[in-house]
Amino acid sequence: MIENYIRSIPDYPKPGILFRDITTLLADPVGFRKAVDGLVQFHAGVRIDKVAGIEARGFILGGAVAHQLSCGFVPVRKPGKLPWKTVGEDYALEYGTDRLEMHVDAVRPGEMVLLVDDLIATGGTAEAAIKLIERQGGQVPACSFVIDLPDLGGRRRLEAMGKEVLALTSYGGH
């Protein structure tokens, strides 16, 4: 079970939050392999041209998934981190806004792009990444995560956009 490789840290990053830490999963060769294999298995036999991974844990997982699916990888990053021309998408946070960017030529029109990240919570970051990819002409048929926190509504938010949401495990609460 993938849950055996995930560490739970109470009161991080603030009191009342039970943080689900995947660094223990990434550090364990069996756990890491199980996670990547599980994420890949969701998409066996499906056309995927590229995998987009959200900074930073999505890079680790998404790169490994892209390798296994024999497709390209697109880093979706915070502002100012990419060295060439970028396009960006702003999104709302609990207090304020943030932004994601990718290179202008990272996705071509019509490409099927799988979105990968470690965790889906409220879905704001994933929604921004989807909008960014689709604005460049890519199609996002599915979003895959190691962890779903369904009580926070992210899965419902992405499904309302018509996206298939897949996760290896889920945890109730925040």
- Return the active site residues: 57, 94
Q: Coil, strand, or helix at residue 43? A: coil
Interatomic CA distance for residues 25 and 64, integer angstroms? 14
Q: Are 87 and 135 in contact (CB under 8 A)?
A: yes
Interatomic CA distance for residues 171 and 165, integer angstroms? 15
Interatomic CA distance for residues 37 and 98, integer angstroms? 31
Please state the three-class secondary structure of 124-162 as a single string. HHHHHHHHHHHHCCCECCEEEEEEECHHHCHHHHHHHCC
